[in-house]
Amino acid sequence: MVRGIFSLRRGVTGIFVFIFFGLIITASYLLEEGQSSEFLKNLPISNLGATTPGGNKGNPGNVAANGRPPKRPNNGHPAPKMKPVPTHVPPPIRDPFPLLERGERPPPIPSYNVPRHEMHHEYGLDYVPPLFIGFTRQWPMLLQCVVSYITAGWPPESIIVVENTGVQFSNRQGKLSLQNPFYLNHAVLKRLGVTVLQTPVLLTFSQMQNFFLSEAHNRAWPYYFYSHQDSLVYSFEDGADTVHRPGDREFEFYDDDEKHDIMNPPAAGKKGYRTIYENALRELNTTLDREDHWAFRWFQYDHLTLVNREAMDAVGGWDNLMPYYGSDCDMNARLAMDGWTMKHRRIGIINDVSTVLDDLIVLYRDKNVEPKWTDPNPPEEKPKEEGKAEEKPKQEEEQEAAASTDEAAAAAAAAAAGATSEAIEGSLSYFRKLVKTGNDMGKYKYRDDEWRNTWQLSQRGGQGEPYYYNSDGFAQSFWILAEAGREVYRQKWGHGGCDLVQETALIPSDAWLVEPDWITDEPAAEKPKDGRR
């Protein structure tokens, strides 16, 4: 998902951030180009504040040291004109895992997903490769992601949540409230057994990637995985899975035998069953056996990615001057030009989602709870227009339909399973409901490009808390910086499209030395809009 992360249209931004020097770049750009530049015209969501309002009634974040809002000075200047107070505000979010929130320990994961002790040794590895999950905002999404990895069999001790919130020690000290977008519950993550690593300052996506790399150097990890926080993953518990999910790319195989093997995995309880984690170790083993010059293995674009540190070093890491979108195009192109391979491979079921399960206990197969999900930032209900269905009822309908077809499918599959033990079959019939639920959540996210990233605005509180930042302002800044990054990409390569290898004859040393290819004698030629794919 390098691509997902970066492109507004395709992307799922797991990691959103903005940075001081990014602001400087943007500011100087604006000074040079003026407000009517291409740059601003290209902005995808320039009216974001108006359509996706924040809870900023009056001037709430503004609390002085004495605990009261500073008085507006009576200095002869008129009071500023305030933006209209939004009428549509998403409902407050709920913690998605009440059991952990109450201080209890998580229930056991399905026995067949429990990772074998020191499993990495079975695949020739002398250390446990870490899984980095970057977090900037929206705790329910992060928690869902982490719990899905753990219940699918990923060892918690190898998961490193990278807290990249820019709130210094506020979360560690429990000073933020759940409605604050940057809220993260250290105690809950500890109870799950995962590690939290705090970035010293708020990093952009590209900086975060370079931060993973620097950690990998510090700790002598030649290979590592990273995942986006809006992934919901499962192992192939039910055997073969042929569903094409919206985030999936064409998977690549080395040969037909391998393809058959990968596409027909044994189900849980059967000989040869492997979790997504075991498949990840196996994939690393296979890659090392087969290739010297590999860079990434993507398991649904970069929603989950295996990284070869050596390749990153060989091309000089991520370009920090492209904070978000476009940076993946730049990275992939530089790697490919330099002969490093990237492949789309298949190790498990990965859903790219924008919604959260109502209670994450369902991932532990609690049969007393039905898998249901909620959009943390449901679209505003517009007055009914003829011929236009409303979003929310449709979602409810889908969930109901899902529940009934699930039961039928589960019964049929149970009958077919024969030899599988009763306990495993019980767990698998519940698993099928989870898979269906994940599929529906993925479809919902991709129902319309406009709404793909709305979940990022679901939490708007935290006024008066340490390091408070207006959530709409954060979102707007994100898109401004994202567009600045696209412009850096265009100027660096003199080309607007994402795939430099397919679309140009550029080599790495051409960076910043070539004239733009959109300036031609053709009168119709126009500067391309952006570097997104």
Contact region with ligand NAG (CB under 6 A), list: 48-56, 284-292, 493-501, 513-521: 284-292
Residue 118 makes contact with ligand NAG by CB under 6 A: no
d(CA 338, CA 335) in angstroms, rounded, equals: 5
Residue 321 makes contact with ligand NAG by CB under 6 A: no
Residue 289 makes contact with ligand NAG by CB under 6 A: yes
Residue 511 makes contact with ligand NAG by CB under 6 A: no
Residue 258 makes contact with ligand NAG by CB under 6 A: no
Contact region with ligand NAG (CB under 6 A), list: 283-291, 294-302, 460-468, 491-499: 283-291
139: phi > 0 → left, psi -120 to 50 → alpha, else beta; which?
alpha
Quote the least distance from Cβ 226 to ligand NAG, whole Å.
21
Residue 446 makes contact with ligand NAG by CB under 6 A: no
Contact region with ligand NAG (CB under 6 A), list: 213-221, 281-289, 389-397, 440-448: 281-289
Residue 292 makes contact with ligand NAG by CB under 6 A: no
Strands across the sheet with 341-344, in order?
195-198, 159-163, 131-135, 223-227, 304-308, 294-298, 341-344
Residue 221 makes contact with ligand NAG by CB under 6 A: no
- Of 102 and 117, nearer to ligand NAG (C-beta) is 117
Contact region with ligand NAG (CB under 6 A), list: 116-124, 210-218, 260-268, 291-299: 116-124
Q: Which two tokens stand for residue 389?
A: 């269905």
| 81: exposed, middle or buried (Cβ count in 10 Å: 0-12, 13-18, 19+) | exposed
Beta bridge partners of 196: 161
- Of 120 and 452, nearer to ligand NAG (C-beta) is 120
Residues recorded for the chain: 533
Containing 279, the helix (H) or strand (E) segment is: helix 276-290
Among 178, 197, 288, 414, binds ligand NAG (CB under 6 A): 288
d(CA 420, CA 423) in angstroms, rounded, equals: 8
Please identify which residue in the block is written with the tokens 């900037």.
136
Residue 122 makes contact with ligand NAG by CB under 6 A: yes
| 285: exposed, middle or buried (Cβ count in 10 Å: 0-12, 13-18, 19+) | middle
Beta bridge partners of 135: 163
Contact region with ligand NAG (CB under 6 A), list: 121-129, 150-158, 360-368, 422-430: 121-129
**Displacement of CA 403 from its chain's centroid (Å):** 27
Quote the least distance from Cβ 166 to ligand NAG, whole Å.
39
Quote the least distance from Cβ 291 to ligand NAG, whole Å.
10
Angle ∠(216,218,219) on CA atoms, nearest 5: 65
Residue 123 makes contact with ligand NAG by CB under 6 A: yes
Q: Let me know: does 529 contact 43? Beta carbons within 8 Å.
A: no
Beta bridge partners of 352: 231
Among 42, 179, 195, 285, binds ligand NAG (CB under 6 A): 285
Tell me which residues touch ligand NAG (CB under 6 A).
122-124, 285, 288-289
